[in-house]
C-alpha cells in the first residue's frame, strides 16, 4: 500500500527541478556533440561538392604532362611510395613491437615505448627535414628519399599497435603453448602472433593510412614531378597530397579543380581505410 502510494504521487518541486536539469544537460551535451561533428560533415560535403566536377576518366587515367592532364602519376606514385614503405616498416615494426612486449626487460620496454611515443608525436615536416639534410645529399630528390621519410612516420604506428595487441593476448594462451613443450620462439610466432593477427593487420592499415596522407615530408624528399614514374625510385616521384598542394597554388582554374578532385580521392581513401579498421576492431576479439 505504502510503496504504490510513493510511486503514484505527483513530483515535488525538487524533483521537478531535477528533471528539468536532466533534460537541459542532455540537450547541452547533444548540442556539443553536434558542434564537434559539424567540421567533419562540412569538410566532407564541401570537398565532395568541389571535387566531384573534377572526376572523369581522363582525370584518373592521364598524367599532368598529357594534353588533357590527370593525376594518374600522383595516384601511382602514392601507391608505390606507401607500398615500399610498408614493406620495410611492416616486418621491422611488428618484430620490434613483439620484442618490446614479449622479450624485453621492463626497463628496456619502457625506454622503447617512450622512444616510440616521441617518434609518433614528431611533426611530419621534421621527419622530412631530417631526411632532406641527412639522406638527400646521397639519394637525391628521389622516391627512395620519400620512402625513407614516410618510413620514419609509419614505423612507430606499426610498433605501437603491435605492442598493444600483443599485450592483449591472454597469458593463458601462451602458457598453454609453453606447457605443451613448444619452444618460446614458436610460441611467439605461431601462437601469440597468430592470436593477435587481426590487430597486427590493423596496425599495418593504420600505417598505410598515415603514409598516404603525408605531404610535408614528401615535398622535401620526393619533390613531385609532372612525369610518370613507374618503379624508378632513383628520381623524383609525384604523390596525391603533393598534387593537391601544388595545384591549389597555381592560377589555372582547371588545376585548382583537379586539386579538389585529388583531395576528394584522398578523403575517400582515408574514410575507407578508417571504416575498414573500425569494422575489424569491432568484430574481432583482439583489437
CA distance 24 to 18: 10
When the beta carbons of 82 and 187 are compared against other proteins, the nearer one is: 187
Segment near other proteins (CB under 8 A), from 110-118, 139-147, 159-167, 181-189? 181-189
Near other proteins in 91-110, by CB under 8 A: 105
Residue 96 burial (CB count, 10 A): 20
Segment near other proteins (CB under 8 A), from 55-63, 76-84, 96-104, 192-200? 192-200
Output the smallest distance, CB 196 to other proteins, in A: 9
Segment near other proteins (CB under 8 A), from 50-58, 76-84, 91-99, 175-183? 175-183
Query: For other proteins, which residue of 170, 275, 278, 281 counts as binding (CB under 8 A)?
Result: 170
Is residue 249 within 8 Å of 167, Cβ to Cβ? no
Q: How far does Cα 158 stand from its chain's mean position? A: 10
Asked if 82 interacts with other proteins (CB under 8 A), we say no
Query: For other proteins, which residue of 52, 186, 250, 254 counts as binding (CB under 8 A)?
Result: 186
Grid cell, residue 173, equals: 594462451
Output the smallest distance, CB 32 to other proteins, in A: 40
DSSP string, 235-262: S-B--HHHHHHHHHHSS-HHHHHHHHHH
Residues across the chain: 287
**DSSP 8-state code for residue 191:** I
| Total interface residues for other proteins by CB under 8 A | 22
Asked if 179 interacts with other proteins (CB under 8 A), we say yes
Residue 146 burial (CB count, 10 A): 35
Asked if 227 interacts with other proteins (CB under 8 A), we say no
Asked if 137 interacts with other proteins (CB under 8 A), we say no
The 10 Å CB-count burial string (b at 16+, else e) for 189-213 is eebbbebbebbbbbbbbbbbbbbbb
Segment near other proteins (CB under 8 A), from 93-101, 168-176, 238-246, 273-281? 168-176
**DSSP 8-state code for residue 223:** B
Grid cell, residue 136, equals: 638527400
Asked if 181 interacts with other proteins (CB under 8 A), we say yes
Q: Which secondary structure element, helix H or strand E, spans residue 217, and what is its range?
A: helix 216-221
Q: Which residues in this chain contact other proteins in the complex, by CB under 8 A?
A: 105, 170, 172-173, 175-184, 186-187, 190-191, 194-195, 197, 285
Amino acid at each position: 500500500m505504502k510503496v504504490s502510494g510513493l510511486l503514484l504521487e505527483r513530483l515535488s518541486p525538487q524533483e521537478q527541478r531535477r528533471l528539468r536539469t536532466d533534460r537541459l544537460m542532455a540537450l547541452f551535451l547533444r548540442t556539443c556533440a553536434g558542434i564537434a561533428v559539424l567540421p567533419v560533415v562540412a569538410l566532407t560535403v564541401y570537398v565532395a561538392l568541389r571535387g566531384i566536377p573534377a572526376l572523369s576518366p581522363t582525370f584518373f587515367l592521364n598524367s599532368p604532362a598529357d594534353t588533357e592532364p590527370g593525376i594518374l602519376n600522383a595516384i601511382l606514385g602514392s601507391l608505390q611510395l606507401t607500398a615500399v614503405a610498408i614493406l620495410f616498416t611492416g616486418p621491422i615494426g611488428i618484430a620490434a613491437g613483439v620484442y618490446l612486449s614479449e622479450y624485453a626487460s621492463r626497463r628496456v620496454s619502457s625506454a622503447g615505448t617512450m622512444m616510440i611515443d616521441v617518434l609518433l608525436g614528431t611533426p611530419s615536416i621534421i621527419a622530412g627535414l631530417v631526411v632532406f639534410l641527412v639522406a638527400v645529399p646521397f639519394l637525391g630528390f628521389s622516391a627512395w628519399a620519400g620512402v625513407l621519410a614516410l618510413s620514419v612516420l609509419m614505423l612507430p604506428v606499426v610498433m605501437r599497435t603491435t605492442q598493444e595487441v600483443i599485450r592483449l593476448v591472454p597469458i593463458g594462451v601462451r602458457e598453454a603453448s609453453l606447457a605443451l613443450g613448444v619452444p618460446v620462439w614458436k610460441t611467439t610466432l605461431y601462437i601469440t602472433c597468430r592470436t593477435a593477427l587481426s590487430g597486427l593487420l590493423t596496425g599495418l592499415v593504420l600505417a598505410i593510412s598515415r603514409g598516404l596522407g603525408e605531404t610535408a615530408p614528401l615535398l622535401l624528399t620526393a619533390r613531385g614531378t609532372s612525369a610518370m614514374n613507374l618503379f624508378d625510385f632513383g628520381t623524383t616521384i609525384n604523390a596525391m597530397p603533393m598534387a593537391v598542394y601544388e595545384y591549389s597554388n597555381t592560377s589555372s582554374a582547371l588545376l585548382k579543380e583537379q586539386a579538389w578532385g585529388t583531395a576528394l580521392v584522398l578523403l575517400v581513401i582515408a574514410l575507407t581505410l578508417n571504416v575498414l579498421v573500425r569494422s575489424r576492431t569491432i568484430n574481432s576479439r583482439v583489437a
